[in-house]
Chain A
Amino acid sequence: MKNILKNKTAVLGLIIILLLIIIAIFGKYITPYNPSIGELSDSFKPPSLTHFFGTDDQGRDIFSRIIDGSRISLKIAIISVSIALTIGTFLGSIAGYYEGILDTIIMRFMDIMLAFPSILLAIALMSALGKGINSAIIAISVVSIPQYARIVKGSVLSTKQNEYVEAAKMVGNSNAAIILKYIIPNTFSPIVVRATIGISEAILDTAALGFLGLGVQPPQAEWGSMLGAGRGYIYNAPHILLFPGIFITITVLAFNLFGDGLRDALDPKFRK
């Protein structure tokens, strides 16, 4: 932990992430306008003191919509990474611990999934599952499972060579107990780093699905779908397209900074 706090970029990333989480949780109380309802007479207003980021085609306050949208983006990203992480860790540790036929079946299946361009797989899953937040969560978690499975398998393979694992076996621990108690905790740091970067990828995927009109449905605000809806007004109101993108970039940047810092702090190879 000390190492992480010494790393300036990681701290900067962490501060932005905490700010975003605060905005997401308390957003309801800071939005100056109702994010879902606007006055048509207010539509396409450029940024001003009354509407910091201007208004969209339906006169809704973009600043309020962005604050409201942060909750959805973070929620989808965190839940989908948690699901992918859990399933990926489960599959990866089984493949790495037992090796043999189980390993072959699991990892070949992961290879098949990795051969798909992930955004296409996500879009195909969305079209199968139907539009909406839950489908987006499922689609995004499914496409990122192989990443975690691979990393976990790799570190399980090297961890289980350790003598304490051998010792734990001798004492009569069950395989499940060994995996849970002795192996997974030791694969922790690459997984945490991967998950942090994974959140930034999930935010980008969420935005992409929203942009295509597949993810979060109107009038609910979500950064990607705000960009998708604003696309038609590129000529007369480009400000609609500006601010949601800035917020996506800042959020992804924060998780990337934090992830980079974590990797430097946790991985001895990168330690100075």
Chain B
Amino acid sequence: MLKYIIKRLLMLIPVLLGVSIMVFAIMHLFTADPTASILGDYATKDQIDNLRQQLGLNQPLYVQYWDFLKALSHGDLGTSIITQTPIAKDIAVKFPATIELAFTAIIIASVVGITLGILSAINQNKLWDHISMVISLIGISMPTFWLGLLLIIFFAVQLHVLPVSGRIQIGMEPQNITGFYLLDSLITGNMNSFVDALKHIILPSLALSAYSTSVISRMTRSAMIEVLNKEYIRTAKAKGILDKSIIIKHAFRNALIPVVTVIGLQLGGLLGGAVLTETIFAWPGIGSYTIDAILKSDYPVVQSTVILLASTFVIVNLIVDLLYAYLDPRIKYM
């Protein structure tokens, strides 16, 4: 097992190196010169040349890339060329926001998705099954950002019950321990902050969870139906176990493997895919930070955040694979 994990971790290195080369190439070869967005339209040629020298932009590309890798290996992510703040500092604040949102969304999606899926499977082809499958199909087909806008219009603008955007009311931030507002406010017993943070996270996490809820419920349904048709379930029924809940428990445990896999894959997607949801709700996470940086050609920020998101994604996928192998001993480590 350990050998397998190490092998898989080593295999991630070329992929992540590839990601870094690709994002470096896209940002340096094609995007607008960042000096323009720093100095404005009326800069003289001397000013531009000076700044390019200062940023190291006049070096050959491979030298710039090598310098970037060297710094990265020391944990130095560089500074934003627009705001001049160290990128590591920004990420330390913004990444927990993204993780908190993604986890809240995946918890909602798992609970709702599994429940809907099981209910559909045991009522296969009955009215309830049809309703829940139609809901899932709509959930998969709706643009997340549009659902977000609808939620804002309904709950924030019309009913005034939840805030329109942001992560917490200014001044209500709990003492920083983990960086997760919900957790930190609970640890410090700051209930006002907790309630406020909870109110802020409801709409974005609901919007973000819709797609995953649908995928999870569809997967749970089909996995459950497959198991419910297996012989041991029929045997159990034939032996006179009439209690439906026992049968569901038996069946669900065996249907769990594909469901866990799909939840893991969804989580990986949510961590990197919350970009638009974060933008709509002005959620101060990595996604909105990255988009902002891309649009401003702030390439050091884009390089760092994209590599961070890609690493998170491949590591979550690796964990899913390992979990899968752990849950189903028939899968051998190759």
Query: Could you tell me which A residues sit within 8 Å of B by CB distance?
Result: 108-109, 111-113, 115-120, 123-125, 127-129, 200, 204, 207-208, 211-212, 224, 227, 231, 234-235, 238, 241-242, 244-245, 248-250, 252-253, 256-257
Contacts and interface: CB of A to CB of B under 8 A. Distances in A.
B149 A234 contact: yes
Contact of B306 (A116, A125, A129, A207): A116
B152 interface: yes
A212 B15 contact: no
Interface in B25-77: 26-27, 29-32
Given A115-B19, A211-B276, A200 B141 contact: yes
Contacts of B248: none
Contacts of B269: 117
B138 A249 contact: yes
Contacts of B219: none
B297 interface: yes
Contact of A108 (B14, B141, B313): B14
A120 B275 CA distance: 8
Given A208-B143, A227-B145, A112 B18 contact: yes
Nearest to B146: A245
A249 B142 contact: yes
B19 to A, nearest CB: 5
Contacts of B276: 119, 208, 211-212
B195 interface: no
B275 A119 contact: yes
A127 B173 CA distance: 34
Given A116-B309, A248-B143, 17 more contacts: A112-B22, A115-B16, A115-B314, A117-B275, A117-B309, A123-B275, A124-B306, A127-B297, A128-B27, A129-B30, A208-B143, A208-B276, A211-B143, A234-B152, A241-B153, A245-B149, A256-B141
Given A112-B15, A112-B22, A124 B294 contact: yes
Range for the number of chain B residues in contact with chain A = 35 or more
B295 interface: yes
B137 interface: yes
17 contacts: A111-B18, A117-B273, A117-B313, A120-B290, A124-B302, A127-B294, A128-B27, A204-B143, A207-B146, A208-B143, A227-B145, A234-B157, A241-B150, A249-B143, A252-B140, A252-B142, A256-B140
A252 B141 contact: yes
Contacts of A117: 269, 272-273, 275, 309-310, 313
B82 interface: no
A149 B272 CA distance: 22
Which secondary structure dominates chain A's binding surface? Answer: helix
Interface string B269-312: 10011011001000000010011001101000010001001100
A241 B143 CA distance: 12
Given A234-B157, A245-B150, A120 B141 contact: no
B146 A248 contact: yes
Contacts of B16: 115
Given A116-B19, A231-B149, A249 B141 contact: yes
B122 interface: no
Nearest to B271: A117
Given A115-B310, A249-B141, A256-B137, A109 B157 contact: no
Interface in B88-144: 137-138, 140-143
Nearest to B17: A112
B149 A241 contact: yes
A71 B84 CA distance: 44
Given A115-B310, A235-B157, A128 B30 contact: yes
B256 interface: no
B138 to A, nearest CB: 7
